[in-house]
Copies of this chain bind each other. A is one copy, B any other.
Amino acid sequence: MKGYVSIGLLGLGTVGTGVVKLIQHHQEQLVHQVGCPVSIEKILVKNLEKEREVEIDQSLLTDDPYDVVLNPNIDIVVEVMGGIDETRQYLLEALKAKKHIVTANKDLIALHGSELQSTAVENQCDLFYEASVAGGVPIIRGLTDGLSSDRIQKLMGIVNGTTNFILTKMDKDGLSYEKALSDAQELGFAEADPTADVEGLDAARKMAILARLAFSMNIELDDVEVSGISQISKEDLKYGSTLGYTMKLIGYAHQENERAEVSVQPTFLPNGHPLATVNDEYNAVYVYGEAVGETMFYGPGAGSLPTATSVVSDIVAVVKNMRLNVTGQSHLSPQFPKQLKNQNEKIAKYFIRLHVLDEVGAFAELTRLFSANAISFEKILQLPLDEKGLAEIVIVTHRATMQDYENVVQEIKNLSVVKEIKSFYRVEGDGAK
């Protein structure tokens, strides 16, 4: 091995620029940590002429990706360009050329993480992607290092800052979904087309990555059930609050008897739950492991500086592994076959809000129907509605299977006294279940 480590960057946007700055400004500290200098060899950019926010020798820039991907002097390829198909191709070629990879690309890892991982292992290369899930929250290292001797039973995450910002505004300031979204857009917390965030897809990608690591099972993006926040009303939040709950978009991963479920869905948390106070654009991941019990990681979740910091700590980890001669072993291949729970194995409490004809016997009919499907009530709220002849009924159930819920919802729809099912949200219970 030569006396220093060379980095090639794919991309020089805000994160890439942050990485270059951190490496330039902390060279001495890096040498202390890893025992040798780290230098930047080549950087792929779209436009060679563009002015840069950081001082870079012009000769380091290239617009040919293969100057990085197949450069014989480069040890570590740092991918901060984004994109999926082309980027996947570059990284596969880099791995085959025995280059280690650090990437911040969540979409790529969610879709092609397994393929990239196995290619990395075949070539004894490291593939690290701490920055892909929640920049500034060291959750991936937490799952792979610290807790590696523990069996993880449950993982819950607030992993999308945009939706958490919107829900916080709706909850604290009483804004409508539409107003909260437009505020988020004005402040730069939501994109002009917010679909991927508000419909839960961004969170689903992160949950696929986290569940794969937590359960050591080849969970794919398609295995994650997704629903977003665009249907949530102020009324839902108000009734939830009355009953002692806070609404969050929760990524939920649970395993029991080596069978897993992974979802992203609006969820009512008891106000005292550690995730209930994670507000605004912040992210947090809560992990329940058999040995260590509950742990939680909380942080900014995004932002170019936290993300660049995560990328640099991945680079440090790769350099250490190179010098220790243990690359390609940090993330082991999935140890367990993928087995997903069926609807009878998924168990939860639900918040159900209904509009019902305000007549004698309506509530009794409803009760009988739930009871016949083995679902009992933990909390009930009944209020008259302004609309004449209708009542609002809010129910929080005890734990029951998804199969039972599906049956009951079907039967409710056939019930003449029920005018409409207004909402149906998962309710987080207490403890590890």
Contacts and interface: CB of A to CB of B under 8 A. Distances in A.
Identical copies in the complex: 2
Contact of A295 (B136, B172, B329, B332): B136
A149 interface: yes
A342 B29 CA distance: 33
Nearest to A325: B35
Contacts of A145: 313
A136 B29 contact: no
A316 to B, nearest CB: 8
A66 interface: no
Nearest to A328: B32
Contact of A299 (B137, B271, B278, B294): B294
Interface string A303-333: 1011001001100000010011110011010
B29 A148 contact: yes
A421 B246 CA distance: 37
A14 to B, nearest CB: 14
A33 interface: yes
A34 B320 CA distance: 10
Query: Interface residues of A: mostly helix, strand, loop or mixed?
Result: mixed
Nearest to A269: B277
Interface string A1-32: 00000000000000000000010011001001
Contact of A274 (B29, B146, B277, B325): B277
Nearest to A278: B274
Given A295-B136, A300-B292, A324-B34, A277 B273 contact: yes
A306 B272 CA distance: 24
Given A324-B323, A325-B35, A295 B299 contact: yes
Contact of A324 (B136, B298, B312, B324): B324
A293 B136 contact: yes
Interface string A135-164: 011100010011011100000000000000
A303 B299 CA distance: 25
A140 to B, nearest CB: 12
A298 B325 contact: no
Contacts of A286: 298
| Most B Cβ at <10 Å: residue of A29, A294, A298, A323 | A298
5 contacts: A33-B326, A282-B294, A295-B299, A320-B324, A323-B324
Closest 4 CB pairs of A and B: A296-B298, A295-B299, A35-B326, A32-B329
Given A273-B277, A295-B298, A324-B324, 6 more contacts: A22-B149, A25-B149, A29-B149, A136-B295, A149-B309, A293-B299
